[in-house]
Structure 1
Amino acid sequence: MANFILILICLLAGQLLRKVSSFPKDGHKALNIFIIYIALPAVAFRYVPLIEWSASIVWPFLSQFLVFGIALIAVWIFSKIKPIDTTTRGALLLTMGLSNTSFVGFPLVETWYGSDAIKIALLSDQGAFFVLSILGIGYATWYAEGYVSVRYLMKHIITFPPFIAFLIAISISHMPLPAWWNTLMEKLSAPLVPLALVSVSLQISFKEHFDRWSELGYALMVKLLLAPAVVMVLLSLLTNLTSLYYKITVFEAAMAPMVTSYVVASQFRLNSGLAGYIVGIGILLSLLTTAGWYWVLENILTT
Structure 2
Amino acid sequence: MDKLFLILIFLLLGLLLQKVKLLPLHTAQYLNKYLIYLVLPMLSLRLIPEINLDSSLLMPASVAWISFGLSWLLFGSLGRIYRWSSSLTGCLIITAGLANTSFVGFPIVNALYGEEALKIALIIDQAGSFIIVSSLAIIVASIHAKEKSRKRDISKKILTFPPFTFFVLALAMNLTGLRVPEDLNFFFDLVAKTLTPVALIAVGLQLKVNFQAIQSTYLWLGLGYKLVIAPLVMLLLFGWILGAEGLAFQVSVIEMAMAPMITGSIIAITHDLEPKLASLLVGVGIPLSFVTVGVWYWILG
What is the TM-score with the length of structure 2 in the denominator?
0.91
Q: 1:202 aligns with which of 182, 199, 205?
A: 205
Match of 2:167 in 1: 166
CA positional deviation for 1:285: 1.1
Contact 1:6 1:194 in 2 (8 A): no
Match of 2:196 in 1: 193
Match of 2:94 in 1: 94
The correspondence of residues 52-201 of structure 1 with structure 2, limited to 5 A, is 52-80=52-80, 82-126=82-126, 127-144=128-145, 145-146=147-148, 149=151, 151-173=152-174, 174-201=177-204
CA positional deviation for 1:242: 4.6
**1:87 is paired with a residue of what secondary structure?**
helix
Contact 1:56 1:241 in 2 (8 A): no
Aligned residues with identical type, % of pairs = 37
Letter matched to residue 202 of structure 2: S
Contact 2:61 2:123 in 1 (8 A): yes
Q: 2:298 aligns with which of 292, 295, 298?
A: 295
Match of 1:48 in 2: 48
**1:231 is paired with a residue of what secondary structure?**
helix
Contact 1:138 1:148 in 2 (8 A): no
CA distance in 1, matches of 2:246, 2:226: 23
Contact 1:39 1:190 in 2 (8 A): no
Is the alpha carbon distance of 1:207 and 1:129 closer, same or farther for their aligned partners in structure 2, counting shifts above 3 Å? Answer: same
Is the alpha carbon distance of 1:251 and 1:137 closer, same or farther for their aligned partners in structure 2, counting shifts above 3 Å? Answer: same
CA distance in 2, matches of 1:50, 1:240: 26
Q: 1:225 aligns with which of 225, 228, 235?
A: 228
Match of 1:283 in 2: 286
**1:172 is paired with a residue of what secondary structure?**
helix
CA distance in 2, matches of 1:244, 1:211: 35
Match of 2:35 in 1: 35
Letter matched to residue 298 of structure 2: W
CA distance in 2, matches of 1:117, 1:31: 24
Match of 1:267 in 2: 270
CA distance in 1, matches of 2:276, 2:135: 23
- Deviations along 1:37-75, whole A, 9 cap, x unmatched? 001101111210221110111211111000001111221
Aligned pairs, number: 297
Contact 2:76 2:93 in 1 (8 A): no
What is the TM-score with the length of structure 1 in the denominator?
0.91
Deviates more, 1:267-276 or 1:176-185: 176-185
Is the alpha carbon distance of 1:73 and 1:290 closer, same or farther for their aligned partners in structure 2, counting shifts above 3 Å? Answer: same
CA distance in 2, matches of 1:242, 1:119: 17
Aligned CA RMSD, in angstroms, stands at: 2.0
Letter matched to residue 249 of structure 1: S
Contact 2:46 2:188 in 1 (8 A): yes
CA distance in 2, matches of 1:90, 1:209: 23
CA positional deviation for 1:211: 6.8
Q: 2:238 aligns with which of 222, 230, 235?
A: 235
